[in-house]
Structure formats: structure tokens, C-alpha cells
Amino acid sequence: MKSKSASDIFWGWYIVGAAFFVLAINYGSRYCFGVFVKPLATDYGWSRSVISLGASLNMFVYSACAVVIGRMVDRIAPRWIVTGGAVIAAVSFILTAFVREPWQFYLVYGLLLGIGSSGLGVVAINSSVAKWFIRKRGMALGISTMGVSFGTVALTPLAGVIVKDFNWQAGFLVLGIITLVVGVSLSQLFFRKIRPEDHGMLPDGETRPELVVKIDAMQEPIRMRFGDMCGDKRFQVLALSFGLAVMVLMTVFVHQVAFAIDQGIDRVLAASSLAAVGLAGFTGQFFFGWLSDRIRDPKYASFLGMVFMLAGLVVLLQVTSARGLFFYAVIFGFGYGSLAPLMPILLADRFGRHVLGSVYGFVTLFLGIGGSIGPYLAGIMYDRFGAYTYVWQADIVIMIFVSAYILTLKPKESGP
């Protein structure tokens, strides 16, 4: 192994920085979708369920593709995966500005963007980050996934202002340009390497091989087929817990702005509430990543995050003003910040870093099922009852269950 001088910056930290901005543009550009719900409904007369189905299809396709992406990221340099995803996603956003019929919207935003965003998603990006760290994995993933919230904070108000001052078509065009420039440039510069060992380096930038061997021996990879994995109790707990949590999360992201406008809250303030969720999540992602490195089992950090999400939903159910909306956003957002860093942390802890991409891809399929069902069901419930009350009540019940269920996750020493 090559020696590392004290003045060198470990290449893994460059990957963390690039991952931060790639995740920012990918999730920020999609999580601001709520800004476009009302304008689409107004211009075309589409119902909430028709519009929500596009977001649901996007989430499902994204997650289904993540299985393939997970396999690829364990075998090839991620730069081509990320570059391809950026180009496809950018084209999708641009084409969405020209849709006129629901089927066109589903094809471009639902199918094509789902494929592209998968190449820019957490499976490709966080799997790449996790392969470069062992002792500092929680911190590294906490920092990289802060990009998800940063993107939401930056792009949601931007989209809101563009939609208000120009039109929703201009908003999608701008998102496409940003995705293309940031995604392609960063992927080609920083995602050229798969693992540190392949390039004469050690995880964490460590200079003592015997220490790395000692640490990594405790996390010997478990090579499993999809069928075997589904039969593993630990996989079941993680897939169901995070799948339901993402179902709640995507329901909120798609319908929160429309709900706020229905409550008489100003359109820009309503859009900014999504940014507030992202800003609070920014803090949460760093905190929960940091916490997972310092407690006996990271599942307790996940439990805490889900409790915060639950508390936020209780507040959301009572919201009638902008002040209440932002109070909810801070609480819920801080809790939601636990999801992105803790998913790969728990998977790496239970199954090993060398197969993280494959395992992450499989579990993301289940996350996509939850994330795609949630917004669509919420749209149907709104069309049926004319309000979001029953939607938020259902989300509260789900998060009560999830908060308790994650505590049943068995430790890594337990067999399948």
C-alpha cells in the first residue's frame, strides 16, 4: 500500500463532497415537485390523483432501476452510472415542460426521469461513499446525504419563484439545465474510482493495514441472492420500516405545498415550507450520521429520527397558519434527516460494505413501492374527501408502527 503523508487529503473526502452536490441536484429537483401540483391542475384541469400518479410512477421506476444500479456500482466505476443518469434526467425535465396530456407526463416525468434519477440516487452515490470508509462511515454518509436537504432548501424556493414570476414550464427547464451541468461535471471529475484498495489506499485514509483488517473482519460480507435476502429477518425489518417511512415522506413532499395553499397560506411561503423541511433535514442528516458512530447500535438513532417524524405529523394535522406550517417543517424535517444516512449505515453494519450496492439496490425496490403508493393514495383520498385530514391521520398511524418495528432489528452477530 502507498503511504499517506499528513498533508494529503484522503480521496474519499473528495468523493463525499461531490456526492453532496450530486444528491442535492437529484433530490432537490424532484422533492420540489409539490410546487408544480397546483399550476398543473390549474392549467390542464388535472385532478390531484392524476398528477400524483406521475410522481408515484417516478418513484417506482427509480426504485426498480436501483436494483440494477446496485449491481453495477459493485462492479464498475460509478462515474459512467452518474453521467448517464444526469443526461437522462436533464432531458426528462426539459421534455416535461412541453407535455400536454397525462400520458405524456407519465412517460417523461414518471418513466424517463425515474430511470435517470436512479443513476444519480443514493444507491449509486452513498454506496460509493461507504466503500471508502469504515470507522468514519457514519460521518461521511451524514455529510454526503446532507446534500439531499441542501438541494431541497436551494431548489424549492428557486422553483417557487420561477413558477410564480414566469410559469411552471420555465421551472422544469431550469431544473434540467442545473441537473445536466452539475451531474456530468462532478461525476467525471470525482467518481472514477470504486474502492480505495484498488488504488493503493486504505479505507478512512488509514496508514496501518493491520488496523483496517481488524475492523473489516468484523463485517465480513454476506453474499446473498435476492430470494435469500428476502428471507432474512433483518432485511425484512429494514425494508418494511424504511419502505413505510418513505411512503409517508413522499406523501408529504408531493402534497404539502398544495395542502398549505388550500389552508390560505401564500404560494411562496407554502413552497418555502418544503425548503424548511430540507433545512431541518440538513441538520438531522449530520446529527444522525454523527450519532450512529457513537452508539452501540445505529438502529436506536433510526428510532429517534422516526419519532421526530411522527411528532411533526401530529403538528401538521393541526396546521392552519404559516407559523404552524414552519413549526411542523422543522420537527418533521429533522427526523426525516435520519433516513438517508442510516439506511446505508444499517445495511453496511448488517451485511458488509463489499456488497452494499447490491443490498442497497434490493432494499430500495421496497422503498420505491412505498414511496410510489403513498402520493397516489393521498391524491385519491383528497379527491374523495376534499381535504388532507385523513391522509395525515393515516401517516401518523404508520409512523407509530414504524417507530416500534425498527427496534426489533436483530444485531449483525445474528444469523439470517
Name the percent of the chain lying above pLDDT 70. 86
Closest CA to 64 of 130, 123, 128: 123
Q: Are 12 and 130 in contact (CB under 8 A)?
A: no
Cα–Cα distance list, 229 to 61, 64, 66, 232, 296 (Å): 21, 16, 16, 5, 24
SS3 46: coil
pLDDT score of 6: 44
Closest CA to 301 of 350, 262, 341: 341
Q: How far apart are CA 106 and CA 372, in angstroms?
A: 13
Q: What cell numbers appear for 327 in the block?
A: 413549526
Cα 201–Cα 207–Cα 211 angle in degrees, nearest 5: 105
pTM of the model: 0.72
Torsion of CA 133, 237, 408, 342, to 10 degrees: 30
| Beta carbons within 10 angstroms of residue 17's beta carbon | 15
**Torsion sign across C-alpha atoms 402, 405, 406, 407:** positive
**Torsion sign across C-alpha atoms 274, 182, 8, 341:** positive
Q: How many residues does this entry show for the chain?
A: 416
pLDDT tens for 24-34 read 999 888 888 88
Beta strand ranges found along 147-201 (DSSP E): none
Q: Are 14 and 201 in contact (CB under 8 A)?
A: no
Q: What cell numbers appear for 193 in the block?
A: 474510482
Give the fold, CATH level 3, of 11-408.
Growth Hormone; Chain: A; (1.20.1250)
Q: How far apart are CA 39 and CA 194, in angstroms?
A: 42
| Beta carbons within 10 angstroms of residue 325's beta carbon | 23
Q: Which residues of 52-76 are buried (b: 16+ CB within 10 A; e: fewer)?
A: bbbbbbbbbbbbbbbbebbbbbbee
* Long-range Cβ pairs for the range 321-325 (8 Å, 24+): 321/263, 321/265, 322/260, 322/265, 322/266, 322/269, 322/273, 325/260, 325/263, 325/265, 325/269, 325/270, 325/273
**pLDDT tens track, the chain, 416 positions:** 444 444 477 777 888 888 999 999 998 888 888 888 888 888 888 888 888 888 888 888 988 888 788 778 767 778 889 999 999 999 999 999 999 999 999 999 999 999 999 888 877 887 778 777 877 777 787 788 788 878 888 888 888 889 888 889 999 999 999 999 999 999 888 887 766 666 666 666 666 554 444 444 444 444 556 666 667 788 889 889 999 999 999 898 888 888 998 888 888 788 788 888 888 988 888 888 788 878 888 889 999 999 999 999 999 999 889 999 999 999 999 998 888 788 878 877 777 655 555 677 777 778 878 888 888 888 889 888 888 999 999 999 999 999 999 999 887 654 43
pLDDT tens for 68-96 read 887 787 677 788 899 999 999 999 999 99
